[in-house]
Amino acid sequence: MIEIGIIGGTGYTAGELIRLIIHHPKSNIRSVVSRSHPGELIHLIHQDVLGEIENLRFTTVIDKNIDVVFLCSGHGRSRKELNDISSEIKVIDLNQDFRISCQSFFNGRNFIYGLPELQKDSIKTSNNIANPGCFATAILLSILPLASKNLLRDIIHISAITGSTGSGRKHSDTNHFSWRNNNISTYKIFKHQHLQEIKQIIRHLQKDFSSKIYFVPYRGNFSRGIIATTYTYSEFPLDETISMYKEYYKNHPFVYISDINIDVKQVINTNKCILHLLKEENQLIIISIIDNLIKGASGQAIQNMNLMFNLEEDCGLRLKSVRF
């Protein structure tokens, strides 16, 4: 069994990790750190796991007898947390601290960008993973097949909407129910932090790419899920493009190409990404859907753990969607 530690145990991503790991056949939760709720029973915070981890309590320090630690304590805190982690323990960071290549080295650790559909082999041999952002995951999976064949040749336009859990568990004016309900808004237009990840990966695959990327993020009035619409110039027929996408993702168990229009509820509570491709005049349109807390965070983190420990990639992630 893989012995697991989690730091930052009360947030949404940590809660999803706990739920998933409870039912993962090859892993065991040994230690969950929360400095805001030390000594409290975990099921008093994550109340839906009552009856599944009756006696496990939050601690203030991580158990040293673990194989891998998941960092969920919040953006900007990972370096501090790593000061107390042995170099022999594998790390999967769900924060944004090590996602950009110029920031990926720390105390002898080299963090690999953990998008399995991009660099599965590198993840398998790495001890340190920077888990991608949720918007970045949905958008990159939309364009990886194009970038891998040097086919991004013009401006990329993106609009995407995320549920309120994307803002984290900490209260703010824009995730309060009375503000979010029956409401929608844009934020960080053309400046969202996940753009750095997207640009970095495109230029890694397609070094001569120099066109603009325009990204408009939206806050949605629902709890979880992301739908992203990306469009860019393409001279290739739609059927050839769809075949190229299916070929690219044929060995990746969580990405599917749909022949009909898609909606967010198809992927809620799963580690899937579903893509739907259209063509209007000379514009290729790619619609992408994921669950922001699973494929966009905790599920992808476990997918990375499976690869790091030479397990089946979908181990513990054969999940049922919540359609209704």
Residue type, 306: N
Tell me the two tokens of residue 53: 């981890």
Tell me the two tokens of residue 170: 């900490």
The CA distance from 243 to 191, in Å, is 33
User: How far is the CA of 231 from the CAs of 7, 244, 276, 279, in angstroms?
Assistant: 38, 17, 12, 9
Give the distance, in angstroms, between the CA of residue 126 and the centroid of all CA atoms in the same chain: 18
Does residue 250 sit in helix, strand or coil? Answer: coil
Catalytic residue, candidates 72, 102, 134, 315: 134
Q: Is there a contact between 16 and 298 (Cβ–Cβ < 8 Å)?
A: yes
The CA distance from 193 to 54, in Å, is 38
315 noted as active-site residue? no
Bridge partners for 226 per DSSP: 162, 290
Residues with a known catalytic role: 134
